Amino acid sequence: MAMFGFFKDKFDNLKQAVSNTAQSLVGNVLSNVDEAEEEYSEFALEDIEDTLIGADLGVSYAAELVDNLRAKKNAKPSELKNYLKEEFKKTLADAGSTNLNYKDSELNIYFITGVNGAGKTTLIAKMAYRFKQDGRKVLIAAGDTFRAAAEEQLNIWSERAGADIVRRDKADPASVVYEAIQKAKNENYDVILVDTAGRLQNKFNLMEELKKIKTVIDKQAPDALRESILVIDANTGQNGLQQAKVFSDSVNLTSVALTKLDGSAKGAIIIAIAKEMQLPVKLVGVGEKMEDLKAFDTEDFINALFE
């Protein structure tokens, strides 16, 4: 059940990638306290809470963190940094393993969901590239069939990645996934990456479409679904949490892939989603290159935030 080898590389320049988030979340919070003080003033605690909310941790989680400080006997401002570091680490760990599930010598299906513009297409291309680099036979199912531009873009990316693709313009997305599964079974593919639509403005129809695709996967390859991944743009902040709630109602999400983390000041949404949805982040995009898809590592991420 462990994440296979090629994704195990560490972030390059992780500290630089999360520098804006580190300032928004850690730097700004610590600026609210005087470490020379023996205890927190109520004014300082309120400022800490407001700053945590502003850093996209969410109202309830920010309140919980500050209430814990209020209730803690002899809590000292000089210990705030370590307190937050340990709390964030625990929250991420409690959400579950960050290893991408994969089984050797079996078909592995990855069901990729998310709103338009989140970066699903480029994520799929980068995943395909990584799997191909590790010697896997990869098939992409182009399930966003009613956006010609999306299909064409996915076709271009699949060629770059060296992956095969099943696409049918204007076809029922579930039928495309069905065809991809049959092809994968007949031709011994290791991986299917399923692209999907993301038009939230027509939420009901989209969710019904995703349910139909999930049903096809469950019937045609009942033991092959490894991950249902929600792709979130790091720059969306708290909107990412709302997206997770919407998609989880229709799809049994297993994990999150966070795109465009490099340069974003809103990367703390990783922690907010882990806290509220119990969903681990497993993949992180930190650039435009094929190689810029990295395995998420809790320890590395937290250390980079607090260094």
Domain presence at residue 53 = no
Dist. CA 75–CA 121, nearest whole Å: 47
pLDDT bin (cut points 50, 70, 90) of residue 12 is low
Q: What's the order of all strands across the beta sheet hosting 255-259? A: 164-166, 138-142, 191-195, 108-113, 225-233, 255-259, 281-285, 293-295
**pLDDT at position 4:** 41
SS3 290: coil
**pLDDT at position 11:** 55
Domain range holding 220? 108-253
Domain presence at residue 280 = no
Share of the chain above pLDDT 70, in %: 95
**pLDDT at position 192:** 98
CA distances from 44 to 2, 33, 73, 124, 143 (A): 43, 6, 16, 44, 50
- On the question of pLDDT at 109 being above 80, the answer is yes
Give tens-digit pLDDT for 273-300.
Answer: 999 999 999 999 888 888 888 899 999 9
Domain presence at residue 96 = no
Domain presence at residue 177 = yes
- On the question of pLDDT at 2 being above 50, the answer is no
Give tens-digit pLDDT for 144-183.
Answer: 887 777 778 889 989 999 999 999 888 899 999 999 999 9
CB of 125 within 8 A of CB of 195?
A: no
- Summarize the confidence of residues 66-80 as an average pLDDT: 92
CATH number of the domain enclosing 195 = 3.40.50.300
Crossing angle of helices 148-161 and 120-133, in 10° steps, is 20
Dist. CA 4–CA 211, nearest whole Å: 28
Share of the chain above pLDDT 90, in %: 68
pLDDT bin (cut points 50, 70, 90) of residue 263 is confident
**pLDDT at position 17:** 83
Q: Model pTM? A: 0.91
Dist. CA 76–CA 121, nearest whole Å: 47
CB of 195 within 8 A of CB of 141?
A: yes
E strand intervals along the chain? 108-113, 138-142, 164-166, 191-195, 225-233, 255-259, 281-285, 293-295
CB of 22 within 8 A of CB of 302?
A: no
Number of domains observed in the structure of the chain: 1
- Summarize the confidence of residues 217-229 as an average pLDDT: 96
Dist. CA 264–CA 169, nearest whole Å: 35
Domain presence at residue 23 = no
Domain presence at residue 211 = yes
Give tens-digit pLDDT for 31-61.
Answer: 999 888 999 999 999 999 999 999 999 999 9
Domain presence at residue 42 = no
Domain presence at residue 91 = no
pLDDT bin (cut points 50, 70, 90) of residue 8 is low
